[in-house]
Amino acid sequence: MRHHVQVLMVWILCFAGFGAAGSPGLATPVVAGEPVREAVEVLGRPGFLLAPVPEQAEPRPWVWYAPTLGDRLPGKEEGWMFERLLGQGIAIAGVDVGESYGSRQGCEVFQAFYELLTQQRGYSPQPVLLARSRGGLMLYNWAADHPDCVAGIAGIYPVSNIASYPGVARAAPAYGLTAEDLQQQLDTFNPIARIARLAAARVPVLHLHGDADKVVPLEDNSGLLATRYRAAGGTFDLEIVPGGGHTMARRWFESTRLTDFMIQRALAAVGQPSTTVASAAETVTVRGTLRGGIVAVGGETTGWVLECAGESEPRRLEVDVQAITEPERFSNAVVTITGTLVTKNYVERGTVTILRTIQIEK
């Protein structure tokens, strides 16, 4: 993925020198590998796994995205969001269950997909669910049966009410029922009536939903679900987007708040300290001397710092070099690092700004 690099003056870091990636005379940059998209199949249904390179140690954090229809993912709309998830070492995966509308048949495929990733591929038993549009019916009905297997639920105008969308008559064939039978059993299958166990398991939820959505109306879906979820004792955060419709506009897929929620929940599920991107829109380029072998109380350090010249003495910026192959060859060298500023909450040290490396050049 393309990284847009902008040189920023960040006073707290006291950067001494700046270099643009690709400048004449610089060595070939060392970069993290491009994410690998792998086609997978479960019970005859196609799916995908988009994994960061290098992969995290097991159990690996991941986000489960629905709907997954065909082989279009990742699309250009999801690029900003997916790049940030992958940059935090979080994989994205999904499986195509067709227009199942949350039916038992679709949930069986979902369960097989979950077992494939968690039992055979080393992924966390608690993914974050990312439900967009009708993916809400699919993911919420699976989650209602497996509340202890969910780290959190993020939603982009998700459907949570079969009666609202696609409507009982249209959904009935997917359930193998007549419209009359599905209507009579609606509370058995409808996500808005099945959230008690999720709320009891304290699964946090964050939805983005527009107040001008005519396809999946706010009040009959996220609005009603939020009311019921909170009444059941759960934590439900609903961000209402003024004028927001049921579109593929950038604002739905470039929400720092939603992306940070997924990052924090996915990393917490595998016991990693939560990190948030301090300036998600841009990367920074910094020049200084890279030092390794740094120690701290309780091991609360990445083990690397970049020393940048200050007015009277060097200023030190902590650096995360996980994405770089054999970073030791750059130790004690003057380098130019391009990366993203993040904050990390340590127990003893408190909040520390860290430069998460994308590439290093001598």
pLDDT in tens, 168-217: 999 999 999 999 999 999 999 999 999 999 999 999 999 999 999 999 99
The domains found in the chain, sorted by start residue, are: 11-31+276-361 (2.40.50.140), 57-269 (3.40.50.1820)
pLDDT of 117 > 80? The answer is yes
Give the residue, 66 or 357, on which the prediction is more confident: 66
pLDDT band for position 339 (cuts 50, 70, 90): confident
- CA 170 to each of CA 74, 86, 98, 263, 312: distance values in angstroms, whole numbers, following the listed order: 28, 37, 14, 35, 72
pLDDT of 82 > 90? The answer is yes
The pLDDT, as a whole number, for residue 314 is 56
Give the residue, 128 or 324, on which the prediction is more confident: 128
The pLDDT, as a whole number, for residue 296 is 83
pLDDT of 278 > 70? The answer is no
- The CA-CA-CA angle for residues 214, 217, 222, to 5°, reads 150
Instruction: Write down the mean pLDDT value for the chain.
Output: 84
pLDDT band for position 130 (cuts 50, 70, 90): very high
Report pLDDT digits (tens) over 206-232: 999 999 999 999 999 999 999 999 999
The pLDDT, as a whole number, for residue 326 is 84
pLDDT band for position 65 (cuts 50, 70, 90): very high
The pLDDT, as a whole number, for residue 298 is 76
pLDDT of 282 > 60? The answer is no
pLDDT of 362 > 80? The answer is yes
Cα 263–chain centre separation = 5
- pLDDT > 70 in the chain, percent: 84
The pLDDT, as a whole number, for residue 312 is 43
Among the residue ranges 1-5, 82-86, 203-207, 301-305, the one predicted with the least confidence is 1-5
Number of Cβ within a 10 Å radius of residue 129: 27
Give residues with Cβ within 8 angstroms of 231, minimum separation 6.
Answer: none
Among the residue ranges 54-58, 82-86, 351-355, the one predicted with the least confidence is 351-355
Q: Is the peptide bond before 127 cis (omega within 30 degrees of 0)?
A: no
The pLDDT, as a whole number, for residue 75 is 78
3-state secondary structure of 189: helix
Give residues with Cβ within 8 angstroms of 212, minimum separation 6.
Answer: 243, 244, 245
Q: Which of 210, 102, 223 is nearest to 166 (CA)?
A: 102
The pLDDT, as a whole number, for residue 19 is 31
Give the span between the Cα atoms of 133 and 232, in whole angstroms: 23
pLDDT of 157 > 90? The answer is yes
- Give the predicted TM-score (pTM) of the model: 0.69
Give the span between the Cα atoms of 203 and 111, in whole angstroms: 19
pLDDT of 288 > 80? The answer is yes
Give the span between the Cα atoms of 68 and 216, in whole angstroms: 18
pLDDT of 17 > 80? The answer is no
